Structure 1
Amino acid sequence: MDLARIARHPAHPGIMRVMLRLWRDYLGPRWDYWPVKAAVSYALPGKTGNLYRFDGWQKAGACKPWAGGGTWSKPSKANAMADGIKSVFVYEYPSITTS
């Protein structure tokens, strides 16, 4: 899931929370290629991640800035924000047991 790129725009400051909930509660559980056990996203550098924590996501760690290595892509603009380190958040879906 890369909703951070899709839903984050200054003209629509509240849409990110809506998109995260839509994915978490509706789209993720309906993924039919394999069972979804968790959703993963990240808070941009310099952000606290409260948007995720308030909705039941858990901080899983940090992601260092992209260092390159390919000739087809450019460094992320997020590298220039704050310290460039993004916080990774995970929402684990409850286990479904059948009897």
Structure 2
Amino acid sequence: MVNQATGLPAVEVPDFIEIRGEYAALTMGRDSDLWPLQPGWQLFFQATEVSTGIGQLCLVMTTKGDTLIKRVIRSGSRRYNLEHFNPSVPTLEDVEIAEVYRLVGMNCDTA
């Protein structure tokens, strides 16, 4: 099980994903707008430095308390732009990040 540190609901880790260090996981809900990700899919993220998450799809916790799945883009010395999966959704600009977890695995076999 993972997610003790993030406050997200705990998720069982499948055997094919190796857990090292601090991890977070979540199960996609029916109300997700992260096409092509489907409801029930599980995403697994590993804690990393913000600089390592640049250009990557990440679970991002902002200093304002938001938890988002976005692509991290450098915006300045301490702030970042957060791009949505869907290009029609506006990019969040000039965001201060508290924590970053980069995507390291998915379990799409949730039947």
In the superposition, the TM-score normalised over structure 2's length comes to: 0.28
The structure with more strand, counted as a fraction of residues = 2
Structure with higher Rg: it is 1
The structure with more helix, counted as a fraction of residues = 1
In the superposition, the TM-score normalised over structure 1's length comes to: 0.30
